[in-house]
Amino acid sequence: MDCCAPSSKVETAKTNCPSCGEKGKSVPLITLKSLLTASSLETIEPENTYSFCPTSSCNTVYFSDTHTQTFEEDALKVPVFQKNSSLQVPVCYCFDWTRDRLIQSVNDNQRPIEHIKNHVQSNRCGCEVNNPQGACCLGNVTAYLRSLN
Q: For residue 45, what is the domain's CATH number?
A: 2.20.25.270
Q: Is residue 5 assigned to a domain?
A: no
H or E element that contains 119 = helix 112-121
Query: Phi/psi zone of residue 47: left (φ > 0), alpha (ψ -120 to 50 degrees), beta?
Result: alpha
Q: Where is the domain boundary, 30, 59, 77?
A: 77
What percent of the chain is predicted at pLDDT more than 70? 91
For residue range 75-84, what is the model confidence (pLDDT) as tens digits? 999 999 999 9
Backbone phi, psi, residue 13, to 5°: -75, 160
What pLDDT shows up at residue 4?
66
How large is the average pLDDT for residues 107-117? 94
Q: Strand, coil or helix: what is 110?
A: coil
Judged against a pLDDT cut of 60, whether residue 141 lies above it is answered with yes
What pLDDT shows up at residue 39?
98
Domain range holding 89?
Answer: 81-149
- At 149, the pLDDT band (50, 70, 90 cuts) reads confident
Same domain, 43 and 55: yes
Which is nearest to 59 in space by CA: 45, 38, 42, 74?
74
Distance CA 112, CA 138 (A): 10
Judged against a pLDDT cut of 80, whether residue 14 lies above it is answered with no
How large is the average pLDDT for residues 48-70? 96
What pTM did the predictor assign? 0.89
